[in-house]
């Protein structure tokens, strides 16, 4: 049995690959049920964001399901997860393996702690990732694919994230993806006040974008969303206009800045629609940032002469500026995570001891009950009390001593001093055997 994390992120895969392996919220529950139906997969949770797709879980190494794919591939090296992910998304297995990572046990726990604390993010210390991780945990619990071990792993990660953010400056003034997108817009346009922004989506990221644009002095904002009510709610805060996604073609020509972040599985804005808008704008420059994974804006839009189209990966240079100011906090956080990992491992070992003690007690009680039942039966047949009690005590003692005696003899014969010393301590033996 082993805990694991299998995934891809912004450091191992391009946005092209990340969008191929992303999980939409509406398919995650079904994906989890399919995943835990794989032989050897005992628990599972899925995290899918613009920067990463990660699968957390627990494997039964005793299952050893072997997959034929150019070679004999076993469960313990993560191949069963890679194969499932490949099949689920219809992406070649060699591509999945090339861009992925697989970590087990303490390294898997450490990785989750780093993710939850924002240390593994493109935006160092980003606060959004913790909420996204909590959402993935919630879905896994709801689907009953996260049980005892995975629950403790998540809870330890959440506790560590809280501790890191409380005791370091890792989360102070984070340069978010939203901030980076607006900073890039300010590099393109000398004066944002005279521009019009079309924001596609109405989630947390777009809300941050709207706030940064508003703070930068931009006066006209259009918010397009699948549901008008949510668009109106966000628009009201920034004195903006709310429209439906279907209305985007009617407003696109007015937009100097387009920033998109939705959970759509299909592109919302295509090359043809942008070409028409450019024609209406008489080819006046358009600046676009597609933060979504999968992408909201067709990649072919970048081929148009009067469009600057950027993806989330293109924002890295802007983000790096903010990262440098939090490097010291990150170093302190890494030390805390190492300490937290040790505490987690100690607690898990303690739980293992509890399980062993419980199993031992149950076995001894079963032996006791068996011998007691036999003694009562002998008494019922008229057996002498003293003889029955002597037989009961002798038989009970022999059965309880049998397994420890075998192990003591074995350790002594093999010269296994460590095991011999442990057994002597366990059974409070003062003399060397």
Annotation says 426 is catalytic: no
When pLDDT is cut at 50, 70 and 90, the band that residue 383 belongs to is confident
- Which residue out of 13, 46, 50, 82 is catalytically annotated? 50
Instruction: Please state, rounded to an integer, the average pLDDT across all residues of the chain.
Output: 87
- Nearest CA to 317 out of 130, 168, 169, 187 is that of 187
d(C-alpha 398, C-alpha 37), whole Å = 45
Q: Over 50: is that where the pLDDT of 71 sits? A: no
90: phi then psi, degrees, rounded to nearest 5: 55, 45
Prior bond to 294 cis, omega within 30? Answer: yes
Q: What is the mean pLDDT of residues 273-292?
A: 94
**pLDDT band, residue 73 (cuts 50/70/90):** very low
Q: For the residues 245-257, what does the mean pLDDT come to?
A: 95
- From the CB of residue 288, how many other CB atoms can be counted at a distance below 10 Å? 25
pLDDT tens string 284-339:
999 999 999 999 999 999 999 999 999 988 887 777 665 666 677 788 888 899 88
Mean pLDDT of the 224-248 span: 94
pLDDT at residue 72 in the model = 39
CB atoms within 10 A of CB 18: 26
* Confidence label for 67 from pLDDT (cuts 50, 70 and 90): very low
Domains in the chain, ordered, with CATH?
2-172+327-348 (3.30.460.30), 177-321 (3.40.50.720), 384-433 (no CATH)
Q: What is the pLDDT of residue 68?
A: 38
Cα distance between residue 294 and residue 316, in whole Å: 18
* Percent of the chain clearing pLDDT 90 (strictly above): 53
- The residue assigned the tokens 């996604």 is 245
Question: According to the model, what pLDDT value does residue 342 have?
Answer: 86
Query: What span, in angstroms and rounded, lies between the C-alpha atoms of 206 and 208?
Result: 5
Q: Distance between CA 185 and CA 285 in Å, rounded? A: 12
pTM of the model: 0.71
Q: Give the pLDDT band of residue 74 (cuts 50, 70, 90).
A: very low
Mean per-residue pLDDT, 194-213:
92
- Lowest-pLDDT range of 125-134, 151-160, 224-233, 395-404: 395-404
Provide CB contacts within 8 A for 311, sequence distance 6+. Answer: 15, 289, 290, 291, 295
* Rg value, the chain, Cα: 30
Q: How is 150-162 classified by DSSP, letter by letter? A: HHHHHHHHHHHHH
């Amino acid at each position: 049995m082993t805990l694991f994390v299998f995934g891809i992120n912004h450091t191992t895969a391009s946005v092209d690959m990340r969008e191929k392996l992303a999980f939409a919220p509406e398919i995650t529950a079904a994906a989890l049920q399919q995943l835990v139906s794989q032989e050897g997969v005992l628990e599972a949770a899925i995290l899918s964001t613009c920067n990463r797709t990660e699968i957390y879980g627990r494997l039964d190494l005793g299952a050893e399901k072997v997959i034929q794919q150019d070679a004999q591939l076993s469960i313990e090296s993560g191949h069963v997860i890679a194969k499932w992910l490949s099949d689920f998304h219809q992406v070649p297995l060699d591509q999945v393996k090339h861009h992925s990572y697989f970590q087990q046990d303490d390294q898997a726990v450490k990785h989750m702690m780093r993710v939850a604390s924002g240390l593994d993010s493109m935006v160092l210390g980003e606060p959004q990732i913790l909420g996204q991780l909590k959402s993935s945990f919630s879905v896994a619990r709801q689907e009953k694919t996260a049980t005892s071990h995975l629950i403790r792993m998540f809870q330890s990660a959440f506790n560590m994230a809280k501790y890191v953010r409380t005791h370091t400056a890792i989360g102070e003034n984070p340069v978010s993806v939203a901030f980076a997108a607006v900073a890039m817009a300010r590099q393109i346009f000398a004066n944002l006040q005279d521009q019009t922004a079309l924001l596609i989506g109405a989630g947390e990221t777009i809300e941050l974008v709207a706030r940064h644009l508003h703070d930068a002095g931009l006066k006209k904002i259009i918010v397009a969303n699948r549901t008008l009510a949510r668009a109106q709610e966000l628009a009201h805060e920034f004195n903006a206009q709310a429209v439906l996604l279907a209305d985007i073609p009617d407003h696109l020509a007015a937009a100097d800045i387009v920033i998109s972040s939705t959970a759509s599985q299909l592109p919302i804005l295509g090359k043809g629609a942008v070409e028409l808008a450019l024609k209406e704008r008489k080819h006046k420059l358009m600046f676009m940032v597609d933060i979504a994974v999968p992408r909201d804006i067709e990649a072919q839009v970048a081929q148009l002469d009067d469009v600057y189209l950027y993806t989330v990966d293109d924002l890295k240079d802007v983000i790096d500026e903010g990262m440098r100011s939090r490097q010291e906090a990150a170093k302190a956080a890494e030390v805390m995570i190492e300490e937290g990992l040790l505490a987690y491992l100690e607690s898990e070992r303690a739980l293992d001891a509890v399980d062993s003690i419980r199993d031992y007690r149950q076995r001894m009680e079963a032996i006791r009950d068996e011998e007691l039942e036999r003694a009562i039966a002998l008494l019922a047949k008229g057996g002498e009390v003293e003889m029955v009690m002597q037989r009961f005590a002798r038989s009970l003692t022999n059965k309880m001593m049998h397994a420890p005696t075998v192990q003591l003899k074995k350790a002594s014969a093999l010269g296994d001093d460590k095991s011999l010393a442990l057994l002597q301590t366990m059974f409070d033996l003062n003399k060397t055997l």
